[in-house]
Chain A
């Protein structure tokens, strides 16, 4: 450490006020490959508080978290635990200091039981040195009960559990380590609404027991419901730390993006044109049931519904991944058999999938390789791929969509979520589509990038693009769509125009249980 701290500060309690803080970072800086990603940021945690850490992707949140968790070592500045300067050389040191992390990608062992996972690495032993199963199961039980999670079976294999349940196990594991600081990195990103409520209850429970919780999330409602304080980072700089009661959502957003965002959802431009895509009674096995819909040029049609209601499945059928088993798909009034994604692409259909990492991108390849992938036929000179045009295409996408990257040759996996999504968009818009299907277009993306993507969607629609948008975020569906279709059980169960699409109306029909046949 090339510390700026006063010499000899090691192991000296520094001031009474600070002595009880479970963790405090003073003027911490960190660079990677000569690029400073954290500039002299200070951050502290009080026992029993929820402290939200906010900022756009690339603002330095992840790096800050990793410094606290011992995964990265700060170049400058110091870390104090209980008023003593400490150095975390590895995550093990951070654990020993009472700092635990619940990661975005849950790090559990699917083939082990709940109890084994909770106590992995710190298994209680009998006097003979073998595993004390009884004690382990008892303590697991206690831990889960204390998290209001008595419903989890401690002998079940983790592989069989939902994401929400796995997360509770990770939290129990952190508690088993006597964590005093719990870092939660976007804990609700992959959760369904019911699990979110449950998680929030657990977070409050932990707070009341005196655990300090660093809470990273893009979701504003959670921040305002949970946090006591909020710290905003931008481009690696500390912007502000405030009590949550002193800020409102627009203020937070403008602190994060460094400018005021005047309206959340851009207004409609232009008017709708002719019907370009029409589905007549389209079905795919039993997951897509008799879907009929019309999509016009210049229109954004929202497809609402719960996960598993058939929204994505309908999109996949239109895109030829799971070709329709019955019914007709008409493009410009002409019936088309769409048997494969390449057929869909050649008809001018583009699909931005919900899972960027596995469906949208090849993460180990570069930006230019990804951008060219759907468009290779057009980027040829003779039999060969025209490397110069591929690079030009990628550069074009980078400037047009404002992708923050070193250049077309940067690996996609090194980009932030928002920038990765822009690469997917760049890839598909390069094919000059007329119909754009966007499945969860802003999932896991920060506020600034989200607003940019919304603006882009409006601009494309204004230029005559027909957009079918699937989203699990009701505010996004209601804010962006000109018309909303609601799906439930593989069927379309409701249609609303912009004026009548309210959260109550759409939400009710989304979650209603339909008896067979009623919905048709």
Chain B
């Protein structure tokens, strides 16, 4: 019963996605090829990794606008640690990821300790982290990474891009945590009624702190994949990423008011957006047209969800 209720929005999305895939396949014969689909998966991975964490954030009723800036900052730090400080690259990767994770923790700390609304707190760190990235990089890009490093962004395992494996693994872990563990239950409870969650002995602040830290970690992970894929580090990397991520999560049926949402929904939302972007450009639709279509699909999905919600009654 519960499962079918919860999956209702996801079912609509799945149907929508299948229809979109079918239409796009009929528009261009290049779309439905293994090569193209795998390549699209590659392009989707960075947004996807961040969206997994963002699903948790939005389910608690929060938002994290700083994920794109954390990605940019991590990318810059990776270059600086390796090139300027002369750290071995593996160490530089770990250090940069640790910094990105810490940036997420700072978000959570500001939000839980000082009770700053997440929108305001992460709007501030959006500017702060981007500013730091630009200041540290001094507008210089870092190039010349060794060949083995490109494996994370361009390599394949069993014919499938490395980052798709990474995304797949992260998705399974996120889905299990959100759907099946006490931590997931706490996440939903906080989003649905924070006071009642606290009065039930849920560790509200600790839970939120973990979630914002995880958002930092996954953004940092995405940064490494991103740098590896494009072979260069630049300070404007990840600009606007937060909007793509939030679009995917909301399209996936997560309520912006908190308390509702699933990882499966988010994944479907991401696939639908990526398919539309790619399929429409293959069919010769200009970039602006693609954005319009994505906007329309988002509105349609939200309306359909609201309609079902109303029919559910109560």
Residues of A bordering B, CB below 8 Å: 321, 340-342, 344-345, 351, 353, 358-366, 369, 372-374, 376-377, 380, 383-385, 387, 409, 411, 413-414, 427
Contacts and interface: CB of A to CB of B under 8 A. Distances in A.
Contacts of A374: 200-201
Contacts, number: 74
Given A321-B199, A385-B182, A411 B189 contact: no
Contacts of A414: 314
A362 B185 contact: no
Given A341-B201, A366-B2, A359 B181 contact: no
A364 B203 CA distance: 20
Contacts of B193: 358, 361-364
A359 B193 CA distance: 8
B192 A364 contact: yes
Interface residues of B, number: 25
Contacts of B143: none
A353 B193 CA distance: 14
B27 interface: no
Contacts of A380: 182
A383 B199 CA distance: 23
Interface in B284-302: none
A373 B198 contact: no
Q: Closest 5 interchain pairs by CB?
A: A376-B182, A345-B201, A342-B201, A373-B200, A374-B200
B181 A360 contact: no
B186 interface: yes
B146 to A, nearest CB: 38
B192 A362 contact: yes
Contacts of B189: 362, 365, 369, 373
B196 interface: yes
A362 B196 contact: yes
A380 B183 CA distance: 11
Contacts of B184: 385
B195 interface: yes
Nearest to B193: A362
Nearest to B1: A409
Given A366-B2, A383-B181, A411-B314, A359 B186 contact: no
Contacts of B198: 321, 341
Interface in B166-188: 176, 180-182, 184-186, 188
Looking at B1, B185, B196, B259, the one whose CB has the most chain A CB atoms below 10 A away is B196
B199 A365 contact: no
Looking at B176, B195, B200, the one whose CB has the most chain A CB atoms below 10 A away is B200
A337 B206 CA distance: 19
Contacts of B203: 340, 342
A359 B196 contact: yes
A376 B186 contact: yes
A134 to B, nearest CB: 42
30 contacts: A321-B198, A321-B199, A341-B199, A341-B201, A342-B201, A344-B201, A353-B199, A358-B195, A359-B199, A362-B192, A362-B196, A362-B197, A362-B259, A363-B193, A364-B260, A365-B259, A369-B185, A369-B188, A372-B185, A373-B189, A373-B200, A373-B202, A376-B186, A384-B180, A385-B181, A385-B182, A409-B2, A411-B314, A413-B314, A427-B200
Given A341-B200, A374-B201, 11 more contacts: A341-B198, A341-B201, A345-B201, A360-B196, A362-B192, A362-B193, A369-B188, A373-B202, A376-B186, A380-B182, A385-B180
Contacts of A341: 198-201
A434 B25 CA distance: 65
